[in-house]
Structure 1
Amino acid sequence: MGGRASGAFEVTAFEPEETDEQPGATLGRVRITKEFTGGLTGAGVVRMLSVLDGAGGPAAYVAVERFTGALDGRQGSFVLQHSAPGSQGERLAIRVVAGTGTGELVGITGVFELEVDEEGRHTYVLEYELG
Structure 2
Amino acid sequence: MNASGTFTVQPRADAPAQTVPDIGRMVLDKRWSGELDGHSVVEMLTCMTPVAGSAVYVAIETVQAVLNGRQGSFAFFHTGVSERGRQRLTYRVVPDSGSGGLAGLSGELTLNVVEGVHHYTLDYTLPET
Assess same fold via TM > 0.5.
Answer: yes
Aligned partners of 1:70 and 1:30: how far apart in 2?
25
Normalised TM-score (structure 1):
0.86
Q: Counterpart amino acid of 2:92?
A: R
1:13/1:90 CA distance change after superposition, 3 Å: closer
Say which of 113, 116, 119 aligns to 2:113: 116
Aligned CA RMSD, in angstroms, stands at: 1.8
CA contact (8 A) 1:99 1:107 kept: yes
| Unmatched 5+ stretches in structure 1 | none
Give 1:86 shift: 2.7
| Unmatched 5+ stretches in structure 2 | none
- Which structure 1 residue ranges, 4+ long, deviate > 6 Å from structure 2? none
Aligned partners of 1:112 and 1:125: how far apart in 2?
6
Aligned to 2:78: 82
Q: Give the total of aligned pairs.
A: 125
Aligned to 1:17: 16
Alignment of 1:70 with 2:54, yes or no, is no
CA contact (8 A) 1:51 1:58 kept: no
Listed as ranges, the matches of 1:39-54 within 5 Å are 39-54=35-50
Say which of 96, 100, 103 aligns to 1:103: 100
1:44 aligned counterpart, secondary structure: strand
Alignment of 1:32 with 2:28, yes or no, is yes
